[in-house]
């Protein structure tokens, strides 16, 4: 007989004479003459309750069934007299696939710290919290693809191994096929030149936007930053849409629409899993999410943001002056205290932004934007791109970038150049927003951080 | 006024008094008193035809409009008197975003060789063929997510940077944050131990299948193989489903269902783009695809396949004997000549397969399967995994693998182990199947091969 997933069993339209479920035992309680088994198969947060009468045969099997064991149970799906569940199973047979030794199995029924669970990242998706997390992670990824596909954006796989450094700013991992300590001259190496792990697919995505119109990437990116903070990992996933024939206002519109779509989608599709986080992880989660959904995001130029900060009468750790990059304390003040909702700050000083952002008519700012969200800080960073070849070349000159290295990028401005804009969103940041989880290590299956490469 | 995508314009339900389109000029033909412009914006293979009357102002703009220029045209959408299109635009205004110098723009209206287009991979998506390719690539990726989401599989991002070598077989790229030539002792490096780019997410995916039930990965994988062939690249995308409570037959069922779903989806969603390949690239494409769709795949044990090959009366380059790995010539004979349809060969000799495949009762074969497809060869490779701790440890011992390195993998067999199975499919192989393209470099946006890391 075919297995029925527990999610489907719990949503059954009516009783079933014959049902087979398979999963991992969360708890077993023995009573006189029968036992209760709570079974979970990962298809949903919820367990199905199995009541199974004792016979000598059943009892000998139940002896081997403890928390964590993998079992198959057949029986009848019946209305549950208990509270909180519509259906339960009257078990007829139980078979053990794999036992879990109760002395050594690390996930006994009790709360475990996130720190401890990180040391068993291979087992933590069997807990309620991390099962919920990774179901939400999966659904959020589906939602991203759906959002862009519905709008006619094409998904592009930009390269992971790259010879170019998008941000013009270091901290990249090197990739090599040479042994450590071997003669490391690039011409002996696999690609015949230095190779790195990408920090952004933007430059490649621009080539596709200027061909297919509207595109997005969704793939892993890397930073070799030696920071051990709750917000940094060496490997994370990023979404980068890029639109031809679009300006900075279009870019902000797209970002706002996307964020709202994703939150709505997760609330609709993962109610049980989100509820777990709202109950146990962040009591304010629902308010935060409603706050993001209910109103238009504030939009203000950087220059105005500096004014507001200067007039706020706050003593910031980093003094506020025009030309500085906004620090987390400033960003949090703007969205949490001043506007009390998500805020786009746009038109940043040219001097603190990369070469590819479009220079505004004032000559000293660029058409850049950051989307700041309560509790998370920067969720999105984007810009209209510089489509004018002469201005772009001027900027590259100022910043000491070699035209030769970017010959192909510059070609897109030589041949049929057009206004275009895009942004990047860290996938894990978005997950932290929708779950309230504050450590990025707890939203990634197997996080990569300095001195940590287990699993 | 808002831009209308050309795909939407061509599918309009009725005429429109006002329309604005933006895109790249494919051709311009001047007549007495008016000009024809064929415009493409990447949203579809098809161009929209614009007829625009000459006025002194229009003529001065048209002088700057050649093949490859990016323009905005406003006008009226009217029924086309011409053949092959329902709608055309009577242009009123034309504005140039970016010109394309007709002397130096490499994509003049003529056929270009694939070899040449690889040297301008940043511009080739502006051609009909590569525009079609990358729209199909995008749709195929969407179809994969849809297929698994509809079946209740969860999408898992397994790590790209890894400390473990899934296949137990080398050819991996190293990842380091150390400068070339620096003291390369692993304890000085970012992760404090040797790090590589993943060749497969399977081992990690197994951990999630044994928690969430049914999962899949879809991400980049890497091989540092120094092979310059039409079938090898250093970076490619792979899909790896993994199912708890499943055996080898379930695994083959899933693969067959997936392949058929993907082909059907692409035929339904990308008819124009597929037609281009059927017309210009592979005249037999439609027959190949229909052949895959119309019948059940053949399934036969390896031992039987060896028998058939031995009795085939063919002189193969590699002599056939039990225990050998099948070569391309054998695989092609089986699916192209013997069965004339896709073939699953299963239950391969243990000695030629990795440690994690489940040992069959005969003790000399494992529950492995390869799906062989006409023209492509191996499209899918998978297995039921060894869930029995003692057997797995025995296999690892035979193969000299360290238990310590795989402590977390072994944990999954210590605690609630269960039968499970999965497979890997190369995304690019599938794209080659649905387009008939024979060089893998032509199905990837920016291919990575030995001595080639441009863009």
Mutate one of B98, B219, B431 to test the A interface: name it (highest A CB count within 10 A): B98
Cα(B248)–Cα(A99) distance, integer angstroms: 22
pLDDT at B103: 93
A219-238: average pLDDT: 94
Nearest to B211 among A42, A149, A413 (CB): A42
Nearest CA in chain B to A68: B416
Contacts of B128 (CB under 8 A, 6+ apart): B45, B276
Q: Shortest CB distance from B155 goes to which of A141, A162, A193?
A: A141
Q: pLDDT-based confidence at B55, cuts 50/70/90?
A: very high
Strand ordering across the sheet containing B195-197: A161-162, A195-197, A174-176, B174-176, B195-197, B161-162
**Can you say whether the dihedral through the CA atoms of B335, B341, B342, B345 is positive or negative?**
negative
Q: Which residues on neighbouring strands pair with residue B162, listed in sequence order?
A: B196
Q: How confident is the model at residue B187 (pLDDT cuts 50, 70, 90)?
A: confident
Q: Is the ipTM of this complex over 0.95?
A: yes
What's the Rg (C-alpha) of chain B?
A: 27
Residue A168 CB neighbour total at 10 angstroms: 13
The whole-number average pLDDT for the span B228-233 is 92
Kindly compute the dihedral angle of the four CA atoms of residues B327, B333, B336, B338, in this order, to the nearest 10 degrees.
-140
Cα of A304 vs its chain's centroid, Å: 31
User: Which chain A residues contact residue B194 at CB under 8 A?
Assistant: 180
- Across the range A309-321, mean pLDDT stands at 94
Q: Is A111 helix (H, G, I), strand (E, B) or coil?
A: coil
- Eight-class DSSP state of A43: S
Are the CB atoms for B242 and B424 separated by under 8 Å? no
The answer to whether residue A130 scores a pLDDT higher than 60 is yes
3-state DSSP assignment of residue B208: helix
Number of neighbours of residue B45 by Cβ within 10 angstroms: 20
With bands split at pLDDT 50, 70 and 90, how would you rate the model's confidence at B186? confident
Per-residue pLDDT at A187: 87
Length of chain B: 455
Instruction: Band the pLDDT of A166: cuts 50, 70, 90.
Output: low
Residue among B248, B298, B274 nearest B436 (CA): B274
Whole-prediction pTM value?
0.97
Query: Shortest CB distance from B193 goes to which of A417, A444, A453?
Result: A453
Of the candidates A5, A220, A417, the beta carbon closest to that of B213 is on A5
Please tell me the distance in Å from A186's CA to the nearest CA on chain B.
9
pLDDT for B180 equals 84
Chain A residue with the nearest C-alpha to that of B173: A177
CB neighbours of residue A190 within 10 Å: 23
CB contact under 8 Å between B411 and A123, yes or no, is: yes
What is the rounded average pLDDT for all residues in chain B?
Answer: 95
Contact B417 A70 (CB under 8 A): yes
Rounded CA-CA distance A430/A378 in Å is 10
A414·B157 Cβ contact <8 A:
no
A-chain CB neighbours of B412 within 8 Å are 122-123
Please name the helix (run of DSSP H) or strand (run of DSSP E) that holds residue A421, with its range, or none: strand A420-426
Q: Do residues A40 and A23 make contact, with C-beta atoms less than 8 angstroms apart? A: yes
Residues facing residue B421 across a β-bridge: B243, B384
Q: Searching chain B, which residue's CA lies closest to the CA of residue A454? A: B163
Chains A, B: CB contacts within 8 A come to 340
Which among A134, A158, A414 has the least Cβ separation from residue B208?
A134
pLDDT tier at A165 (50, 70, 90 boundaries)?
low
Please tell me the distance in Å from A318's CA to the nearest CA on chain B: 30
| Residue A108, pLDDT score | 83
Give per-residue pLDDT as tens, B310-325: 999 999 999 999 999 9
Q: Is residue B232 predicted with pLDDT exceeding 70? A: yes
- To the nearest whole Å, the CA of B273 is away from the closest chain A CA by 13
Closest chain A residue to B25, measured at CA: A416
Instruction: Name the strand (E) or helix (H) holding A371.
Output: strand A365-373
Please name the member of B125, B160, B414 whose beta carbon is closest to the beta carbon of A235: B160
Q: In angstroms, rounded to a whole number, what is the distance separating the alpha carbons of residues B397 and B409?
A: 15
| Cβ B392 vs Cβ B376: under 8 Å | no
Residue A332 CA: distances (Å) to CA of A336, A378, B194: 5, 9, 39
Q: How confident is the model at residue B169 (pLDDT cuts 50, 70, 90)?
A: low
Q: Find the range with the poorest average confidence among A107-111, A410-414, B80-84, B417-421.
A: A107-111
- Nearest Cα of chain B lies from the Cα of A69 at a distance, in angstroms, of 4
Rounded Cα distance, B381 and B369, in Å: 6
Q: Which residue has 């719990």 as its token pair?
A: A10
Judge contact between A234 and A213, C-beta under 8 A. no
**What is the band of B393 on the pLDDT scale with cuts at 50, 70, 90?**
very high
Mutate which: A202, A414, A418, vs B, most B CBs within 10 A: A418
Per the model's pLDDT, the better-predicted residue between B377 and A152 turns out to be A152
**With bands split at pLDDT 50, 70 and 90, how would you rate the model's confidence at B182?**
confident
Contact B134 A156 (CB under 8 A): yes
Which residue do the tokens 């044994």 mark?
Answer: B210
pLDDT one-digit tens code per residue, A59-79? 999 999 999 999 999 999 999
Contacts of A219 in chain B (CB under 8 A): 219-220
Res B176: pLDDT? 94
What is the 3-class SS of B86-100, one letter each residue? CEEEEEEEEEEEECE
Domains of chain A: 6-98 (2.40.50.140), 124-442 (3.30.930.10)
Residues of A in Cβ contact (< 8 Å) with B145:
141-142, 145
Confidence bin at B185 (pLDDT 50/70/90): confident
Instruction: Give Cα B441 distance to the centre of its chain.
Output: 11
Dihedral-angle region of residue A118 (phi above 0 means left; psi in -120 to 50 means alpha; beta otherwise): alpha
Q: Which of A252, A261, A289, A270 is nearest to A143 (CA)?
A: A261
Q: Which of B157, B176, B212 sits opposite A131 (nearest CB)?
A: B212
> A168 pLDDT band (50/70/90 cuts)?
low
- Give percent of chain A above pLDDT 70: 99
Q: Which of B190, B246, B253 to mutate to test the interface with A (most CBs of A within 10 A)?
A: B190
Question: Using one digit for the tens of pLDDT, what is the confidence trace for A281-297?
Answer: 999 999 999 999 999 99
Picking from A100, A104, A454, the nearest residue to B416 by CB comes out as: A100
**In contact, A355 and A401? CB cutoff 8 Å:** yes
Q: What phi and psi, each to the nearest 5 degrees, are found at residue A163?
A: -100, 0
Question: Percent of chain B scored above 90 by pLDDT?
Answer: 92
Residues of B in contact with A443 (CB under 8 A): none
- For residue A109, the model assigns a pLDDT of 72
* Interface touch B176/A178, C-beta < 8 Å: no
pLDDT score at B179: 86
| pLDDT at residue B167 tops 70 | no
Closest-CA residue of A relative to B171 is A177
Question: Which helix (H) or strand (E) covers residue B71, if one does?
Answer: strand B70-79
Compare all CA atoms of chain A with the CA of B407 and give the residue at the minimum distance.
A455
Express each pLDDT in A339-375 by its tens digit: 999 999 999 999 999 999 999 999 999 999 999 998 8
Give residue A134's pLDDT.
98
In angstroms, rounded to a whole number, what is the distance separating the alpha carbons of residues A162 and A156? 15
Strand residues in B269-364 grouped as ranges (E): 298-301, 343-349
Which residues of chain A lie closer than 8 angstroms to B244, CB-CB? 22, 41-42
Write the DSSP assignment of B99-126 as a string of letters: -B-TTT-S--SS---HHHHHHTTTTGGG
Instruction: Please name the member of A43, A387, A412 whose beta carbon is closest to the beta carbon of B152.
Output: A43
Query: Would the CB atoms of B211 and A163 count as touching at under 8 Å?
Result: no
Residues from chain A that touch B223, judged by Cβ atoms under 8 A, are none
pLDDT tens digits for range B65-105: 999 999 999 999 999 998 888 999 999 999 999 999 999 99
Contact A375/A433 with Cβ under 8 angstroms?
A: yes
pLDDT of residue A359: 98
Helix B427-435 / helix B128-150 crossing angle, nearest 10 deg: 120
∠B427-B431-B433 over CA atoms, to 5°?
115
pLDDT of residue A167: 54
Supply the mean pLDDT for chain A: 95
CB contact under 8 A, B142 and A145: yes
Residues 6+ apart with CB under 8 A from A249: none
User: Are A97 and B411 a contacting pair at CB < 8 A?
Assistant: no
């Amino acid at each position: 007989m075919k297995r029925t997933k527990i999610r489907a069993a719990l949503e059954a339209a009516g009783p079933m004479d014959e049902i087979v479920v398979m999963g991992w035992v969360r708890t077993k309680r023995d009573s006189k003459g029968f036992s209760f088994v709570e079974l979970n198969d990962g298809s949903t947060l919820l367990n199905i309750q199995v009541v199974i009468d004792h016979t000598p045969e059943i009892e000998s099997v139940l002896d081997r069934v403890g928390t964590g064991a993998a079992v198959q149970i057949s029986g009848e799906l019946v209305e549950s007299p208990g509270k909180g569940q519509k259906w339960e199973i009257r078990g007829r047979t139980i078979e053990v696939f794999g036992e879990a030794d109760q002395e050594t199995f690390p996930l006994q029924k009790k709360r475990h710290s996130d720190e401890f669970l990180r040391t068993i990242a291979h087992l933590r998706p069997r807990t309620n919290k991390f099962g919920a997390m990774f179901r939400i992670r999966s659904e959020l990824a589906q939602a991203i693809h759906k959002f862009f596909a519905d709008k006619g954006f094409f998904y592009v796989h930009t390269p992971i191994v790259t010879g170019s450094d998008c941000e013009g700013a270091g901290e990249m991992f090197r990739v090599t096929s040479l042994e450590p300590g071997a003669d490391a001259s690039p011409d002996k190496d696999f690609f015949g030149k230095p190779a790195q792990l990408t920090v952004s697919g933007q430059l490649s995505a621009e080539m596709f936007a200027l061909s297919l119109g509207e595109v997005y990437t969704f793939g892993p990116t890397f930073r070799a930053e030696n920071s051990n903070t709750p917000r940094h990992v060496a490997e994370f996933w990023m979404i980068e849409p890029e639109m031809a024939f679009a300006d900075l206002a279009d870019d902000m519109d797209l970002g706002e629409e996307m964020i709202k779509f994703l939150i709505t989608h997760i609330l609709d599709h993962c109610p049980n899993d989100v509820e777990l986080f709202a109950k146990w992880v962040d009591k304010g989660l629902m308010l935060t999410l409603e706050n993001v959904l209910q109103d238009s995001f504030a939009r203000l130029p950087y220059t105005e943001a500096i004014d507001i900060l200067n007039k706020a009468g706050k003593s910031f750790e980093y003094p506020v002056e025009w030309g500085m990059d906004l620090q987390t304390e400033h960003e949090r003040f703007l969205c949490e205290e001043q506007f009390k909702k998500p805020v786009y700050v746009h038109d940043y000083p040219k001097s603190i932004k990369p070469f590819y952002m479009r220079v505004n008519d004032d000559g000293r700012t660029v058409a850049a934007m950051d989307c700041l969200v309560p509790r998370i800080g920067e969720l999105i960073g984007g810009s209209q791109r510089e489509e004018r070849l002469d201005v772009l070349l001027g900027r590259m000159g100022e910043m000491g970038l070699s035209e030769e290295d970017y010959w192909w990028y510059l070609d897109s401005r030589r041949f049929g150049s057009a206004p275009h804009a895009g942004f990047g969103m860290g996938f894990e940041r978005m997950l932290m927003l929708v779950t309230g989880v504050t450590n990025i290590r707890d939203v990634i299956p197997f996080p990569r951080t300095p001195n940590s490469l287990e699993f």
